Amino acid sequence: MTAASAPSGVFSPISAGVVSALVGFTSAFVVVLAGLAAVGADPDQASSGLLAVSVTMGLSCVLLAWWTRMPITVAWSTPGAALLATTGAVEGGWPAAVGAFLITGALIVLTGLVPLLGALIARIPASVAQAMLAGVLLQLCLGPITGLATNPLQVAPVVAVWLLATRFLPRWAAPFAFLTAAIVIGVHVATSGTAIDLATLTPRVEITTPVFTLAGVIGIALPLYLVTMASQNVPGVAVMKGLGYEVPWRRSMLVTGVGTVLGAPAGGHAINLAAISAALAAGPEAGEDRSRRWIASVTAGIVLVGLGIASSAFGALVSLAPAGVIAAVAGLALLATFTASLKAAISEPDEQIPAVVTFVTAASGIAIAGVSAAFWALIAGLVVRFVLRRGRRPA
C-alpha cells in the first residue's frame, strides 16, 4: 500500500464509525431516557443512566474490536429500554430497577460462561420472542399519532421531516427527526421564556444502591434479559455472520455482561451486540479492505463515549420538550424495529396463533402480581404453542 492510499484506507472505516455512533445514539436515546424514567428514575438518574450505557457500550466497542480485530459494535438494548417504558415502576422503585439491571448483567455473563444457557435462549421460538417485542413496541409506536392529535403544530414538523428522510435518506430518518425536534424545542424555549439552569448541562453520575426484590427479578430482570438476548445478541451474531464474521460468543457475552454490571449502579439498563446497526461498521461502507474495518468499531466507541459525556445536555433538552414531541420521536425511531419484529412473528403460518397471543398479551400492558405484561406474554405464547403442537407429526 502506498503512502497516498494509506490515509484513504483509514478514512473509510473512521467515517463509517462516526456515522454508526451518531445514527445509533440519536435514533434511540430518547427511548432509553423514557424507559429509565418509567421504572422510577428522576431526571438526574435517567441522565446518569444514559451516560452509563453510552460509556460502557463505547468502551466495549473499543475493547472487542481491538481484541478480535473484527468490526464488532456494541449498543444499548433499545428493545430493553422500550420494555422498561411499558413496564412502569415495580415494588422497591428505582433501587429495585437498578438491582434488576445488575441481575441482567450477571445473567449475560453466565450465558457466556455456560454454553447450555445460550443454547436454551436460542431455542426460544423466534416467532414468540419477536411477537413479545412487537407487543411491547406497539404502545410506543403510537406516539406520533397521539402527538399529532394533541399537539399538531409542534409534532407535525417532526413527522414530516421523518417521512421525507425515510423516502430519500432512510438511514438518517430517525436522527433527522430528532434534529427537527431539537429545533422545535429550541423555538418553544425561546418563545415561552423558559429559563435553562446551566448546572443541569454538566455530566453527572448518580450512584444508586441496588435493592433486590422478587418483583424486580420477575418483572424487569428476566424480561430484560430475554428480550436483550433474543432481539439483540442472537440476531447480532447472525447479522455479523452474514457479513462474513464469526463473532466470538463467549468473549462478547463476557464483555457486554460485565459492562452491564458496571453500568447498573449508575443507572445503565443493559448493553449488547448491535443487531440492525451492526452493518454500518462491518459492511462495505467501512471500506473495501476488510482487515481495517475493525477501526470503524473503535471509532464508533470513542464517539459514543463523547456523546455519553454530553448525556446531561440531551436529558435537559428532552425535559424542555413540549407535549407529544419526544413521544413522537421515540415512536418514529422504533417503527422499523416494530415492522421487522411483527413480520418475523407471523412469517410462519404454523406459528401465527401463538405469535398473535403473545403479541396481544404484551400489547395489553397488564401487570399481574406486579409482573409486567412482557413476561406473561412470553409464558402465554409458549403455552399456546406447546398445546397446539402437542402430538402433531411434522409435515
Q: Quick one: DSSP state of residue 199?
A: G
Answer positive or negative: Cα dihedral of 75, 360, 89, 102: negative
| Residue stretches of the chain with pLDDT short of 50 | 1-6
Residue 80's nearest CA partner among 193, 209, 230 is 230
pLDDT of residue 370: 67
Residue 354, number of CB atoms within 10 A of its CB? 24
pLDDT of residue 47: 93
pLDDT of residue 130: 87
Give me the helices (H) in 222-345, please: 222-228, 234-242, 249-263, 278-282, 294-309, 311-319, 325-345
Identify the residue whose cell numbers are 433538552. Answer: 317
Let me know: does 81 contact 192? Beta carbons within 8 Å: no
The answer to whether 264 touches 207, Cβ cutoff 8 Å, is no
CA distance 9 to 4: 9
**pLDDT value, residue 259:** 97
d(CA 284, CA 42): 42
Quote the pLDDT of residue 5.
47
Q: What count of other Cβ atoms lies within 10 Å of the Cβ of residue 313?
A: 15
**DSSP category for residue 394:** P
> How many Å apart are CA 72 and CA 156, to the nearest integer?
37
Closest CA to 377 of 118, 87, 77, 36: 87
Q: Measure the CA–CA gap between 328 and 324, rounded to whole angstroms.
A: 6
CB atoms within 10 A of CB 114: 13
Burial-class residue 146 by CB neighbours within 10 Å (0-12, 13-18, 19+). Answer: middle
Dist. CA 154–CA 112, nearest whole Å: 46
